[in-house]
Amino acid sequence: MMAKYGASLLCLSACLSTSLAQAESIALKTLGNLELSYVQPQKVASYEGSALPALVDRLPGNDYWVSTPENIQQVTFLVGQGQIVTKGQAIVRLTGPEVFHFLAQVDAANSLYLLAKKRYERNKPLLRNGSISTEKWREISQDYFSSHLEYEHMQHFMEMVLSTDEITESLVVSSPVAGIVKLNQLNTPYMADSQLFSLVPAESIRVKVNVPMSQSTSLSAINIDQCHIAIESISAIADGAFVSAWSMPVPQECNLLLGQQATVIPEYQKTVYLLPKNSVFSWQQESQVFTQTAETLTAINIDILGSTPRQYIVASDQDLSKTQVLSQSVAAVKGILLGLGGE
């Protein structure tokens, strides 16, 4: 029988090559007693695609950084890594003689600033009436602005200081904003300007997913476990055949952790059709279905985008929503195309 198939296949390869350019059609009356049943493809506006790897990441540029103003001997973090903190919550205690020096520097900067300000205010009328030279005024002004900057710089840090303790020579730094704290835990000493911690605002925590370019434009959301998150932006710059997409802020109830690698199910916004898996067959390297038109079955190409356990998600150039697609005995009908049948 295989031999018979072979002969028929050769015949087909020779004589069907032309006819295959157009759609294959089979008259219903030639299908004998084959049980035939049809389905109307279900039209849906979106569909779920194949799982994609994703990363819970922060939108670049949204982090808030806090650095130490001095070399610090002892740094004690008062919260856990990745903890969500509120504005003003104690984050770290800095301890050591440098803390005392720093506080003294703050006081000194304050005094210097006030002094420079007073001098600046006093000499301003004198400049107007020409009592002092322009050269002298520039010197006074320069002194005033530099001390102001120095003071403000320290004052900004001091705004985050919750408390100081002269006895233990320590101070406690609080969170300037709400967000997820990312502690910079070093095994080496914290030198001046070393980052102590950063804060990631909750709204900048997103899911970053690389999506095939062909499907990127229709990506509308992602599903991860029971969590549905809409896509906010899709990069216009490709990385190979993929582009990055960023989700909307991750809702807290999703329990996703920053840096977590996950697989997500993408949801694409595209009009597609759901078809039973047993209605699809392969023909000349294409996926096809048989549609019923009057008294014939006509094979048409479809594009399988994804699947569920029982159905395919397919796209087609034709509007399938009003067609009847063969869902039973498909393999037997394909057998007819191959020239099978009989003894």
Partner 1 sequence: MLTSVIRFSLTQRLFVLIVAMILMLAGARAWFVIPLDAFPDISPTQVKIILKAPGMTPEEIEAQITVPIETELLGIPNQAILRSTTKYAISDITLDFTEGTDIYWARQQVSERLAAVWDSFPESVSGGVAPMSTPLSEIFMFSLENPNLSLMERRQLLEWEIRPLLRTVAGVADVNILGGHAKSFNINPNPAAMAAAGVSFAALQQAIIDNNHNEGAGKLTIGTDTIIVRAEGRIDDIDELGQLVIKADDAKVYRLSDLADIQIGHLTRYGAVTKDGEETAEALIIALKNANTAQVVTNIKEKLEQISATLPEGSVINTFYDRANLINTAINTISSALFQAVLLVIVLLALFLGNVRAALVVSLSLPLAALMTFLMMDLFNLSANLMSLGGLVIAIGMLVDSSVVVVENMVNLIASKPRLPRLHLIFRATKDVAVPVVSGTIIVMIVFSPLLTLTGLEGKLFTPVAVTIVFAMLSALILSLTVIPVIASYLVNEKAAQEPKAIIKLKAAYLGSLKTAFNHKKPFMLITFGLLIVSLGLFSLVGKTFMPTLDEGDIILQLEKSPSISLDASIAIDKQIQQTLLAKVPEIKQMVARTGADEMGLDPMGLNETDVFLELVPRDEWRFDDKGQLIEAIRNELLNYPGVNFNFTQPIQMRVSEMLTGSIGDVAIKVFGTDIDTLGQLTAQIEQLVSATRGSIDVKMSMIEGSPFINLTLDNELARGFGMSTMEFARYLKSQLEGVMVTEILQGKKRTPVLIANNQSSLSSINELQNQLLVMPDHSLKRLTDVAKLSYKEGPILIEREQGDRFSVITTNVQERDIVSFVEELNTKIAQQIQLPSGYSVSFGGEFENQQRATNNLLLVIPIAIALITLILFTTFGSLAKAGLILANVPFAMMGGIVSLYLSGEYLSVPASVGFIALLGVAVLNGVVMVSYYEQTKHLFSDLLVRVEQGAARRLRPILMTATTAMFGLMPLVFASGPGAEIQKPLAIVVIGGLLTSTITTLYLLPILYYWLEKRR
Annotate 221-265 with DSSP letters as a single string. Answer: EEEETTEEEEEEEEEEEEETTEEEEEESPPPGGG-PPTT-EEEEE
Please report how close the Cβ of residue 303 comes to partner 1 at its closest, in angstroms: 8
Q: Is 309 in the site for partner 1 (CB under 8 A)?
A: yes
Spatial distance between the Cα atoms of 330 and 227, rounded to a whole number of angstroms: 38
Please report how close the Cβ of residue 42 comes to partner 1 at its closest, in angstroms: 17
Token couple for 201: 């605002």
Give the one residue of 22, 35, 135, 295 binding partner 1; rule: CB under 8 A. Answer: 35
What is the Cα 230 distance to its own chain's centre? 10
* CB 194 within 8 Å of CB 207: no
Give the one residue of 23, 28, 34, 132 binding partner 1; rule: CB under 8 A. Answer: 34
Q: Is 240 in the site for partner 1 (CB under 8 A)?
A: yes
Region binding partner 1 by CB under 8 A among candidate stretches 67-75, 139-147, 193-201, 255-263: 255-263
Q: Are strands 38-39 and 324-326 parallel, antiparallel or unpaired?
A: antiparallel
Give the one residue of 16, 31, 84, 161 binding partner 1; rule: CB under 8 A. Answer: 31
Region binding partner 1 by CB under 8 A among candidate stretches 155-163, 185-193, 200-208, 256-264: 256-264
Please report how close the Cβ of residue 316 comes to partner 1 at its closest, in angstroms: 14
Binding residues for partner 1, total number by CB under 8 A: 53
Spatial distance between the Cα atoms of 20 and 111, rounded to a whole number of angstroms: 92
Q: Is 287 in the site for partner 1 (CB under 8 A)?
A: yes
**Local structure of residue 338 (DSSP, 8 states):** T
Spatial distance between the Cα atoms of 118 and 41, rounded to a whole number of angstroms: 83
Q: Is 342 in the site for partner 1 (CB under 8 A)?
A: yes
Please report how close the Cβ of residue 10 comes to partner 1 at its closest, in angstroms: 5
Please identify, using beta-carbon distances, which residue of 60 and 240 lies nearer to partner 1.
Answer: 240
Give the one residue of 88, 176, 201, 335 binding partner 1; rule: CB under 8 A. Answer: 335
Q: Specify the DSSP element, H or E, that contains 283.
A: strand 280-283
Q: Is 261 in the site for partner 1 (CB under 8 A)?
A: yes
* CB 40 within 8 Å of CB 319: no
* CB 51 within 8 Å of CB 263: yes
Give the one residue of 134, 135, 282, 295 binding partner 1; rule: CB under 8 A. Answer: 282
* CB 86 within 8 Å of CB 175: yes
Please identify, using beta-carbon distances, which residue of 155 and 328 lies nearer to partner 1.
Answer: 328
Q: Is 53 in the site for partner 1 (CB under 8 A)?
A: yes
At which residue do the structure tokens 């399938």 appear? 320
Spatial distance between the Cα atoms of 90 and 79, rounded to a whole number of angstroms: 8
Spatial distance between the Cα atoms of 207 and 244, rounded to a whole number of angstroms: 10
Residues 193-232 that bind partner 1 (CB under 8 A): 212
Spatial distance between the Cα atoms of 322 and 232, rounded to a whole number of angstroms: 34
Please identify, using beta-carbon distances, which residue of 167 and 331 lies nearer to partner 1.
Answer: 331
Token couple for 141: 């002004």
Please report how close the Cβ of residue 50 comes to partner 1 at its closest, in angstroms: 4
Give the one residue of 17, 19, 30, 233 binding partner 1; rule: CB under 8 A. Answer: 30
Length of the chain: 343
Please report how close the Cβ of residue 297 comes to partner 1 at its closest, in angstroms: 12
Token couple for 153: 């710089």
Q: Is 37 in the site for partner 1 (CB under 8 A)?
A: no
Q: Is 237 in the site for partner 1 (CB under 8 A)?
A: no
Positions that interact with partner 1 (CB under 8 A): 1-7, 9-10, 13, 30-35, 49-53, 212, 240-241, 260-263, 277-278, 282, 285, 287, 304-307, 309, 312, 328-336, 338, 340-343
